[in-house]
Structure formats: structure tokens, C-alpha cells
A and B are shown apart, each in its own frame.
Chain A
Amino acid sequence: MKADIRVALVGNPNTGKSTLFNVLTGLNQKIGNFPGVTVDKKVGYSTLPDGRRAEIIDLPGTYSIYPKSQDESIVFSVLADKANPLSPDLVVVILDASNLKRNLLLYSQVADLKIPIIVALNMMDMAKKADISIDIDLFAKKLGVPVVPISARKVNGIEQLKEAISFANKFALQEDSIDVTTIAPQLVEAIGEEMHIDNPYLALQLAHQHETLKFLTPAESERIEELEHQFSFNSQKAQGMETIARYAFINDLLYDTVTKPVTAHEETISNRIDKILTHKVFGFVIFLGILLFMFQAIFSWSAYPMSLIADGFVWVQDNLHPVLPAGPLANLLIDGVIAGLSGVMVFIPQIAILFAFISILEDTGYMSRVTFMMDKLMRKVGLNGKSVVPLIGGFACAVPSIMATRNIENWKDRMITILVTPLVTCSARLPVYTLLIALVVPNKNVWWLFNMQGLALTGMYVFSLVSAVVVAWVFKFILKGKERGYFIMELPVYRMPRWKNVLFSMYERSKAFVFQAGKVIIAVSVILWVMASYGPGKRFDKIDQHYAQAQYTQHISPDSLSRTIASAKLENSYAGVLGHVIEPVIRPLGFDWKIGIALITSFAAREVFVGTMATIYSVNGSAEKMQSVYEKMHQAKNQQTGQPVFTLAVAFSLMMFYAFAMQCASTVAVVYRETKNWRWPAIQFAYMTVLAYAASFITYHLLR
């Protein structure tokens, strides 16, 4: 889509930037990636009062132009690099009117880059409530830029903001905030001269950030490094000087334009809520209660839409079979691609519900309190308060949770969180556990109250959390951190969740999941389908000939004959052959070649287990028909001993394997995407496989 003007939204976190973005663009937005990095890029379109189209870019929220994370570094590289395809014509800086001082730091930095700028003064209603009055005309005059008071939540002042955007100047007219050249005069001059930069603040920022900026050539970056040595430039000291100067400017500005009540009035509502929610005892009780409610919701609310989706795909498959000309292509499409797609789509309800909860918890400000309460505990095991969010999210799905580790600034904390998140019992393990538990654990109550199957399942969940914590603790000693860990975090004021944002987040995350994870899952399921449908040499022809003999065709019903044939073909397919090949390796765990096939196919995604079991034990119909899979597996006997295959030992050994093994192609892909290095998914895959094997082995031999 062509746009007449490109506008970037910049602001602190918790200032209502996303709300303003949603209000400006409506559903007319899309999420992509910034080129070269995995930071979500949100772009939308808005029609201005004069009929022109404005392209709006929502840049990640940040407190300053000095980045503390990958997300934040985007802000400077988009604003500073004129050659960047996203380089904006205009910046709208959103300031929280009830918290102007800290918000103005970022404004003054962005303003000094000399890009045309408009200030959107958000949360005017909140400021009014706190008796803060702002002389907006004087404020605008002192800054030299248009200032539009708005309330994004109440959709006030949006038309005026759009008008201001359409009238925006092509040239930057803002007043200088501080004299940048005094900070490192010679260096700024030298960089400016050599690289033809006439903006002193841009030159200074290049000195600070040249190591991470992608738009500088290695030669340019090296030259800046040399100049820094020549003029003995200390980045941290310079940043400190700059920050102090900026706050001096801000204090002057606020002194003239803002009047606040002299005495702090009675305790704020937010403070009173905090007294309960971060209480020594109630704090944890409430947190636990919220978690329990969340899991209940994720499982129970999603059950109906999930079965609808699964049934829908079965319906499509059933109806495509007669329509399409029979042949390998139709089989690939129906049993490979569509089956694979249904495996992805079926998780949409759970992901949407999980993200609804996460977005509500974040929006209200509760998530930062959880981080605040858990930090000490998490730090003991090598994690960080901020690891709580991905770990909790891991109960639904590791893929979005690993993406959520981005706001952990510390590299080591983030890596450990990424490494252990897939250990947490995700929703894909649920069908595996329920099936296996139903096979071996009696459906009886103990102590009147607790169902034994339920207890076993709860046990697996608790066990997964414990193992994640223990593994994190081990990695704490193995990984070497490059930087010091720190935890300086805003505790935003409690607010009501914005339901529209919740809906947006559900929609966006589900879409991202389907497109990103979907590609991998479909590819792998196609490969698996091929491996399970074709065999080496002429084995399949021989099976067909064998069962074409009269003794079979005349005495066995066609239905059961085709099942027998399918079963024989599977054993002789590439997958079956592979199952036989790995059988010696997995025999010590109590598994036979059929389970071996399920293990191999499960490396695409764990939930494939049920489907594979269904195929192997030749059950017709969809994998959702748990009862029939259950019955077949229940009746399965070892051909040599005549004993049932799925004993208590085998079932629990299998569950242990699923608890630890990295059987999820999407997680491997997302870990690579987030770490940009194959080493991490490889390490993760290796340690999880070793743990899975060991845990299985021990379990099998203890219970046998």
C-alpha cells in the first residue's frame, strides 16, 4: 500500500502507545519483522482529514534512545538511518501527562535528532484527576513543536492529532534541549566531519552505538572506534553527563509549565491494591489462584473450539477424498498437508486464550508485580523475575513463550529461560499424558476426594516445573554471563484492561503462530507422511500381492483387510524401517518399534503421538477418537510373551520421555530465530534428549 506520509510512534512503555496505534489504524494493521532482526514490526494505515494516507509505525516502547534490549535498539536505527526503508517523515512522541518528567527524557533525545516531531500528551484525564495542570500553549512554545492533548483510551483528541499530522512541517523546528557539543566536543566534530553528519547529537549517538548499528559499514565503525580512543571517550560517563543535562532542561521546563499539588494527597488506589496483591502471604495465594484459574480456562474453554476445528478438518478430509482423483498427490494433500495444518490450527484456541490472559495481566500492571514478587526466588536458580512470564506461558505453548523472553535484558538470564521453557508441560503433551494415564492408572478416588488419574496428571505438571527449575540452576553454573544482571523496572499504576487491545493481541499472536510455526509443522508432516506412505524397494507391491490372495479376500471383511494391509505397509515403510533400526536403542526404555515410530514422528510435534498410535494400531477415523486408540493400545500384546505392551512401567517411561525430550520442530525453529545461532537449539536438543533417555531408563527399571 502506498502512503503519502510515514509517521513513527515513539514513547515510554505504559504510556498508551499501543492503544493510540490501535485507535489510529483500527484493524488496518499488520505485523511483520524489522529487516534482519526478530522484533515485531507493527505497521498500520490511517486516513488524515485532508484525505492523505498516513503509514503509522509503532516502534517498541523504550525509556531512552540508549537501547537496553534488542527491541529497543530498533528505535534509534529506524530514526537515525535516513536510508532505512522505514525512515519516518514525522515522529509522534507520546508522553504520559501524569508522569511527564521521566517521559520527557526520551522526547528530548528524539527531538535532538532533528526529525519533524509532534507531541501527543496522553492520559490527560489521569493528570486532571491527580490535580496536575499543564499550560499546554506555553509547553508547546518552549519545545517549539505542536502539542496535542489526547486520551487514547477514551478516544479524545484523536481527530486533532490527525489534523496536526496532516499540517506537520517538513522541517524540524524544535528548540534545542541541551548543548550536545559540550559532552564530547572534539569527537563529535571529528565524526561529523569525516562522515558528513551535521547533527551533533546523531554524531554522538554513533559514537555510543556504532558497535551494534547495522547501517554502518565495518570500516566506518572501526574508524569511530579509533576516534573514540584518540579523544579518550567514555561512553558511560558521557551518557551520565547527557542524562543529567537533559533532566536539568526538563526540570526548568516543568517548573514553568506544570503545577502539581504541593502536598501529596491521600494514598493512591494503586498503592492500596499493591498492599494486598504484593502482601507477604496473600500475594502468593492470589498469584497461585490466578494461575489455577488460567489453566482451568486454557483447558476447559478451549475444549469445544478445539474439537470443532479438529472435526472441521476431518470433515474437509472426508469430503475431499471422493472429489479429488485418487493418487499420491491427493493423498499428500489430504493426509499430509491438511492433516499437518489441522495439527497447527487445533492449538489456536489455547494460544488465543493464553495470550488473552497474558495481555490482561500485563495491561493491568499485575505482571510487573509478579515479576517483583518472584525475582528473589527466580534469581536463586539462575533466572530472573521476568522469567516468570515465559515459564507460565510454557504451560500452554513454548513457542510464544520463548518469543516473550525478549524483555529480559540480561543475556544469560534470557538464554537460561529459553533453554528451560520447553521443559514445562505444554498443551501438546496433554493428549499424550491423558492417553497413557488412562491406560495404566485406575480411575479410582483416593481419600474420597482425589481422582488417581487426576493426581497423576497434576504430578506430571508439578514435576515439569521442578525439573525446569533444577535444570536452570545447573545452567547457572555452566553459562558464562557477559554482563551484570540488574533489575530496574517500572511498576506501572494499576489500570483496567483495554478489551480491544486484548482482542488485538489474541488475533495477532494466533496469526503469528499459524504463519511462523505452521510452515515448519506442515513441512515436517509432509516429510513424515512420505516416509510413512512409501517403503524401500518393492516391499509395498509384495504386501499388495500377498493380501490379494483368495484366502484373505474371501474370508476377511474388506474393511478389516484394508486395515491389516495398512498396518503391514506401515511396518515396511521408511518410517517403519527406521522404527526397527532404532529399536535396539529404545529397547532398554521398554519401547518396541511401533513406539519407536511414534517417537520419531513426535519430533515434529508431540501431539502427533496420538495420531501415529492411531495409525500404527490401525484405527480408522480421526485421532480425536481417543476411546478407540485407547482400546487398541489396551489390547496390544507383545507377540513373544503375550503380555500387554503398555504396562505401568512402559507408560510412565514413555511419559518421562515426553516430559523431557525436545519433540517440537516449532520450538527448535523459534529458538533459532530468537538466538540467531544454531548452537542454542542444538544444545537444547542434546541436553533434553539425554535427560529424556536417562529419565525413561530409570523409570522403566524402577517400575518394571
Chain B
Amino acid sequence: MRLSQLEVGEKGIVKEFTDLEMSVKLMEMGCLPGEEIKVERVAPLGDPIAINVAGYQLSLRKREAHTIILQ
């Protein structure tokens, strides 16, 4: 299961990443293995998405969300 596959309102727990470069940037922002993520909303044109992680809201593109594998 990838983060990009979650619907609005669904939750998941980060397991690992498929992309090293992206993982470093995501982890810096508190999005790291073991963290719970909730998809908060999708931008009006369908991309990017906004997620709730580590107690705040983070937006990222679907392509980036696709590099996050959930448990």
C-alpha cells in the first residue's frame, strides 16, 4: 500500500520509502517510519495532497506520496 492510494480521511502508518533522496526530505519534515499519516484533503485539481503528520499539515505531490510505503 502506498500513501498515494489512500482516500481523503484514511490513515496509515509509514513503513519505508522507495526513493532515498525523497525519503531524506520527507523524514526531515517528521514523516518517518512508524509515524501515523492521515490524508486531510486533495487540492482542487487532484494534486498535490495534504496530509496530517507529526501534529501538523504537510502538502506533497502524488508522485512524492507514491514513494511512501505504508504498513
Inter-chain contact B30/A484, CB cutoff 8 Å: no
Q: Which residues of B contact A236 (CB under 8 A)?
A: 20-21, 24
Whether, in the assembled complex, B41 has its beta carbon less than 8 Å from a beta carbon of chain A, the answer is yes
Given A236-B24, A372-B59, A484-B21, check contact A101 B43 (CB 8 Å).
no
Whether, in the assembled complex, B54 has its beta carbon less than 8 Å from a beta carbon of chain A, the answer is yes
Whether, in the assembled complex, A487 has its beta carbon less than 8 Å from a beta carbon of chain B, the answer is yes
Inter-chain contact A376/B58, CB cutoff 8 Å: no
Whether, in the assembled complex, A284 has its beta carbon less than 8 Å from a beta carbon of chain B, the answer is yes
Given A278-B44, A488-B26, check contact A102 B20 (CB 8 Å).
no
A102 CB contact (under 8 Å) in B30, B41, B50, B60: B30
Inter-chain contact A376/B24, CB cutoff 8 Å: no
Give the distance to chain A from B56, nearest Cβ to Cβ, in Å: 5
Whether, in the assembled complex, A548 has its beta carbon less than 8 Å from a beta carbon of chain B, the answer is no
Inter-chain contact A102/B56, CB cutoff 8 Å: yes
Give B18-61 interface residues, CB cut-off 8 Å to A. Answer: 20-30, 32-33, 40-41, 43-48, 50, 54-61
**Which one of A240-248, A580-588, A641-649 is at the B interface?**
A240-248
- Tell me, in angstroms, the Cα distance from A99 to B23 when the chains sit together: 21
Given A237-B20, A240-B20, A372-B50, check contact A488 B29 (CB 8 Å).
yes
Given A240-B24, A247-B32, A375-B48, check contact A491 B43 (CB 8 Å).
no
Q: Which residues of B contact A486 (CB under 8 A)?
A: 22, 25, 60-61, 64
Inter-chain contact B59/A487, CB cutoff 8 Å: yes
Whether, in the assembled complex, A95 has its beta carbon less than 8 Å from a beta carbon of chain B, the answer is no
Given A237-B20, A486-B25, A486-B61, check contact A373 B55 (CB 8 Å).
no
Whether, in the assembled complex, A73 has its beta carbon less than 8 Å from a beta carbon of chain B, the answer is no
Inter-chain contact B28/A490, CB cutoff 8 Å: no
Q: Which single residue of chain A is at the shortest CB-CB distance from B38?
A: A264
Inter-chain contact A488/B60, CB cutoff 8 Å: yes
Q: Which residues of A contact B64 (CB under 8 A)?
A: 486-488
Given A243-B24, A244-B33, check contact A487 B48 (CB 8 Å).
yes
| Contact size range, B | 20 to 34
Give A46-83 interface residues, CB cut-off 8 Å to B. Answer: 63-64, 66, 68
Whether, in the assembled complex, A377 has its beta carbon less than 8 Å from a beta carbon of chain B, the answer is yes
Inter-chain contact A240/B23, CB cutoff 8 Å: yes
Interface SS of B by simple majority: mixed
- Among A373, A488, A491, A492, the one with the most B-chain Cβ atoms within 10 Å of its Cβ is A488
Q: Which residues of A contact B25 (CB under 8 A)?
A: 68, 486, 488
Inter-chain contact A243/B44, CB cutoff 8 Å: no
Whether, in the assembled complex, A478 has its beta carbon less than 8 Å from a beta carbon of chain B, the answer is no
Give A97-132 interface residues, CB cut-off 8 Å to B. Answer: 98-102, 105
Q: Which residues of A contact B57 (CB under 8 A)?
A: 270, 490-493
Inter-chain contact A105/B30, CB cutoff 8 Å: yes
Whether, in the assembled complex, A239 has its beta carbon less than 8 Å from a beta carbon of chain B, the answer is yes
Interface SS of A by simple majority: helix
A490 CB contact (under 8 Å) in B27, B33, B56: B56
Q: Which residues of A contact B50 (CB under 8 A)?
A: 274, 372, 491
Q: Which residues of A contact B41 (CB under 8 A)?
A: 274-275, 278
Give the distance to chain B from A375, nearest Cβ to Cβ, in Å: 5
B43 CB contact (under 8 Å) in A247, A270, A375, A492: A375
Inter-chain contact A243/B28, CB cutoff 8 Å: yes
Whether, in the assembled complex, A271 has its beta carbon less than 8 Å from a beta carbon of chain B, the answer is yes
Q: Which residues of A contact B44 (CB under 8 A)?
A: 278-281, 283-284, 373
B28 CB contact (under 8 Å) in A105, A368, A372: A105
Whether, in the assembled complex, A489 has its beta carbon less than 8 Å from a beta carbon of chain B, the answer is yes
Inter-chain contact A376/B45, CB cutoff 8 Å: yes
The digit string for A20-56, where 1 denotes a CB below 8 A from any CB of B, is 0000000000000000000000000000000000000
Give A486-528 interface residues, CB cut-off 8 Å to B. Answer: 486-493
Give the distance to chain A from B38, nearest Cβ to Cβ, in Å: 9
- Tell me, in angstroms, the Cα distance from A493 to B33 when the chains sit together: 24
Inter-chain contact A244/B27, CB cutoff 8 Å: yes
Given A486-B61, A490-B56, A490-B57, check contact A247 B30 (CB 8 Å).
yes
Inter-chain contact A101/B48, CB cutoff 8 Å: no
Q: Which residues of A contact B23 (CB under 8 A)?
A: 240
Q: Which single residue of chain B is at the shortest CB-CB distance from A105?
A: B28
Q: Which residues of A contact B26 (CB under 8 A)?
A: 488
Q: Which single residue of chain A is at the shortest CB-CB distance from B33?
A: A244
Q: Which residues of A contact B43 (CB under 8 A)?
A: 278, 372-373, 375-376
B27 CB contact (under 8 Å) in A240, A283, A491, A492: A240
Give the distance to chain B from A289, nearest Cβ to Cβ, in Å: 15
Given A488-B60, A490-B56, check contact A376 B48 (CB 8 Å).
yes
Q: Which residues of B contact A492 (CB under 8 A)?
A: 56-57
Q: Which single residue of chain A is at the shortest CB-CB distance from B46?
A: A376
- Tell me, in angstroms, the Cα distance from A588 to B43 when the chains sit together: 48
Inter-chain contact B59/A489, CB cutoff 8 Å: yes
The digit string for B3-20, where 1 denotes a CB below 8 A from any CB of A, is 000000000000000001
- Tell me, in angstroms, the Cα distance from A493 to B29 when the chains sit together: 16
Inter-chain contact B47/A376, CB cutoff 8 Å: yes
Jot down 25 A-B pairs with beta carbons below 8 A, ordered by A: A63-B28, A66-B24, A66-B28, A101-B30, A101-B55, A102-B29, A102-B30, A102-B54, A236-B20, A239-B24, A240-B20, A244-B33, A247-B27, A247-B32, A274-B40, A375-B48, A385-B48, A486-B25, A487-B48, A487-B64, A489-B59, A490-B58, A491-B50, A491-B59, A492-B57
Q: A237-B20, A487-B59 are in contact. List 15 more A-B contacts (CB 8 A).
A: A66-B24, A236-B20, A236-B24, A270-B57, A271-B40, A278-B43, A284-B44, A373-B43, A373-B45, A376-B47, A376-B48, A487-B60, A488-B29, A490-B58, A491-B56
Task: For the complex of A and B, list the 7 residue pairs with the smallest distance between their C-beta atoms, beginning with the closest.
Answer: A491-B57, A102-B30, A376-B45, A243-B27, A280-B44, A376-B47, A101-B54
